[in-house]
Amino acid sequence: MTTPVSIVIPAYNEVEYCLECVDSIVENTAYPYKLILVDNGSTDGAGEYFDSVPGATVVHTGANLGFPAGVNRGLAHAEGHVLLLNSDTRVPAEWLARLVHVLERNASIGLLGPMTNYVSGPQLIDGLALTAMDHINAFARERWETWNGQVAEVERLVGFCLLIRDAAFRRIGLLDERFGLGNFEDDDYCLRARQAGYRTCMALGCFVFHYGSRTFRSMGYAAQKYNELIDENETIFREKWNLDEDGTGHAEQIAARLTREARAAAEAGDLAGALRAFKEAISTCPIYDSAYSNLGAVLWGLGQRERAYEYFRRAHALNPNNEEALQNLRDAATALGKEAPEEKRP
């Protein structure tokens, strides 16, 4: 059964970009979707344009509530998987089907983002000079043919285009509105997703064009003022999660980092290093379920199946909503002739 996607687009002014974005969706999206347009207090006709889009669900906030709060008003109408999309993007042909394909073939992924031409962090493909839709489509097609469904796990995905698994959204919930106009709400959401046992990954074969920072420019945020906003929200983020300057300081964060390091070591063939890192993660935060599940997977590969089963069982007991741990436990129970747990209903 196909799971539909709710595309949530918040906008404050910049009606020309809104028109380009929505037109590209209508022209290039065959996968089933629900379009949710949030007029975040626009004064340049963007709200009236949204009202003219056939079949769209339109929310008028009446004032500029900022990105997190505006998105949340749209999320109240979402169903299925959720995709957050900035209004200054243009999507190529087959973009949504590709993203959903990558998400649904990897049950452990909760959040997935595409590559792009304008973003901070590893999702950036540097040096692109694309403007025409034909060029965007051609590049996206070549990118998919080269990378297809490959993914890379990252700590942070940028919310300019962010696909959220339906089960992950039900568990994690809304964006944190304390981040005001925006910035760091996506860092926060990624951290919450990893705490819930989900992976946050880039889809290396997927591409979405992004103009970048148009909403902040329309609000008069010059470089200095914009940097001040980033600094303020970074302080909010660090205080919320008790993080030191280097991003550490919270037990679950340290355990998450050690678990990612252990997984990388295992993939590189350093099983001894992986085992040490997994055990250190569990020692640092005994309730971090992903460390138990991943350690069990390594032990299973080493032939220590009973020990692996116990780690899978522990991970599932700590977090029944961790789909990866549940699947590992069910597979192990079947192989060992034990009673498999029933799948938890949402």
Same domain, 34 and 182: yes
Q: Specify if 344 maps to a domain.
A: no
Same domain, 236 and 293: no
Q: Specify if 87 maps to a domain.
A: yes
Same domain, 30 and 171: yes
Question: How many domains does the chain contain in total?
Answer: 2
Residue 177's domain comprises 5-241
Domain end among 241, 263, 280: 241
Q: Specify if 35 maps to a domain.
A: yes
Same domain, 308 and 197: no
Judging by beta carbons within 10 Å of its beta carbon (0-12, 13-18, 19+), is residue 104 exposed, middle or buried? Answer: middle
CATH code for the domain in which residue 185 is found: 3.90.550.10
Same domain, 152 and 194: yes
Domain end among 210, 241, 272: 241
Same domain, 260 and 191: no
Same domain, 201 and 266: no
Q: Specify if 161 maps to a domain.
A: yes
Domain end among 241, 265, 300: 241
Q: Specify if 70 maps to a domain.
A: yes
State the pLDDT at residue 344. Answer: 46
Same domain, 237 and 300: no
Same domain, 187 and 319: no
* Residues of the chain scoring pLDDT < 70: 213-226, 244-251, 286, 342-346
State phi, psi for 146 to the nearest 5 degrees: -80, -45
CATH code for the domain in which residue 294 is found: 1.25.40.10
Q: Specify if 343 maps to a domain.
A: no
Same domain, 140 and 220: yes
Tokens of 82: 């959720």
State the pLDDT at residue 196. Answer: 82
Same domain, 317 and 220: no
State the pLDDT at residue 4. Answer: 95
Q: Specify if 246 maps to a domain.
A: no
Same domain, 235 and 298: no
